[in-house]
Amino acid sequence: MDYTADQSGFRQLPNMHLRNNSADGSDADQLFEDTSGVGPGSQKGYRNQQAMPQAGEFPGQALLSDPMSNLAMAYGSSLASQGREMMDKNLDRFIPISKLKYYFAVDTVYVGKKLGLLVFPYMHENWEVSYQQDTPVAPRFDVNAPDLYIPAMGFITYVLVAGLALGTQNKFSPELLGVQASSALVWLIMEVLVILLSLYLVTVNTDLTTIDLLAFSGYKYVGMIVSVVAGLLFGRPAYYLSLLWCCAAIFVFMIRNLRLKLLSEAAAEGRLVRGARNQLRMYLTMAIAAAQPIFMYWLTYHLIR
């Protein structure tokens, strides 16, 4: 590089550095655009143009147009449907939802006739369940068909009446009412389990299902409610009289229903029961019927003072 001296004796900077500065200045003018002259309206329009999507597009269009996304969505929906079918199949194995609908197919006329039959079963003659194409008709069409509506409502009403009876004795508490309801439910489940075990030991071939046994065992709540209400209204003698009547009624009701299910065809028609196996079936039928009054007294006697 050549260094030249001016008149004052100082060395001048090299010409290359000056050229570089001028070149940098020109490049700076090219890199940074002067936007001071642009109005605020144009800048706002530019930002809105960047923020808003293009016309004719909607959010998620790019995701739906992706083949891999469509495949993943289809695979996920198929997995969800398979899981739902598997859950319904396993649930129906333990809790037959489709069969439960049959036991709740009742109407007001059926409920009224069934309650009358439970309280006064002595004049009823035909106890056979009607069938249509090897399938029992719905309870609302046949008063002899078992149902779960009356046992379920009877259980709930029994708990409410028990709470009322405890309140008249100044013993009501939520904990005591819960103990009353849980004990009644436990006794019902134990009763059904003992009946199932007895049927297995006696080797009875019957079309009675677990739900049928639950329905027949739950009909005793009707007599229990009548007895407790009578005791609350008219005192302890009325309780014992109504309990005696309802116990006899439920005994006859259970005998006439279960003998068609447990005994042989000869016994169902009224002919002499012969054979050791038929004798065991007869004893089992009477034992199930005789257990109902015992439970009725056990679950209600402490509610009347």
Could you write out the DSSP letters of every residue in 138-190? PGGG-TTS--SHHHHHHHHHHHHHHHHHHHHTT---HHHHHHHHHHHHHHHHH
∠ Cα 48 51 53 (to 5°)? 105
Q: Tokens for 88, please give them.
A: 């319904």
**pLDDT given for residue 208 in this prediction:** 86
Beta-carbon count within 10 A of 232 CB: 16
Cα–Cα distance for residue pair 241/247, rounded to 1 Å: 10
Distances (CA, A) of 118 to 44, 190, 245: 84, 23, 11
Closest of 192, 190, 245, 241 to residue 223, by C-alpha: 245
Q: Quick one: DSSP state of residue 8? A: T
For residues 16-43, one letter each, b for 16 or more C-beta atoms within 10 angstroms of the residue's C-beta and e for the rest, the string is eeeeeeeeeeeeeeeeeeeeeeeeeeee
The DSSP secondary-structure symbol of 5 reads B
Give the burial class of 220: count Cβ atoms within 10 A of its Cβ; 0-12 exposed, 13-18 middle, 19 or more buried.
buried
> What pLDDT is attached to residue 285?
92
Contact predicate 139/110, CB 8 Å: yes
| Cα–Cα nearest to 257, from 140, 132, 114, 67 | 114
SS3 state of residue 11 = strand
For residue 11, what are the β-bridge partners?
Answer: 5
User: What is the C-alpha to C-alpha distance for residues 296 and 220, in angstroms, rounded to an integer?
Assistant: 7
Q: What is the structure's pLDDT at 46?
A: 46
Q: Which helix (H) or strand (E) holds 275?
A: none
Q: What is the pLDDT of residue 281?
A: 85
> Would the CA dihedral through 125, 127, 132, 134 be positive or negative?
negative
Res 59: pLDDT: 52
Instruction: Supply the pLDDT for residue 27.
Output: 46
3-class DSSP state of 102: helix
Give pLDDT tens digits along the chain (305 positions).
444 444 444 444 444 444 444 444 444 444 445 555 444 444 444 444 444 545 445 555 554 556 666 676 776 777 777 766 666 565 555 556 677 889 999 999 999 999 999 999 999 989 998 988 888 899 999 999 999 999 999 999 999 999 999 999 999 999 999 999 999 999 999 999 999 999 888 887 788 889 999 999 999 999 999 999 999 999 999 999 999 999 999 999 999 999 888 875 445 445 445 566 678 888 899 999 999 999 999 999 999 98
Q: What's the pLDDT score for residue 300?
A: 95
- pLDDT value at residue 276: 67
Note the helical H segments in the chain.
15-31, 40-51, 61-64, 67-94, 97-103, 108-119, 149-168, 174-202, 210-218, 220-234, 236-262, 265-268, 276-298
The pLDDT of residue 60 is 52
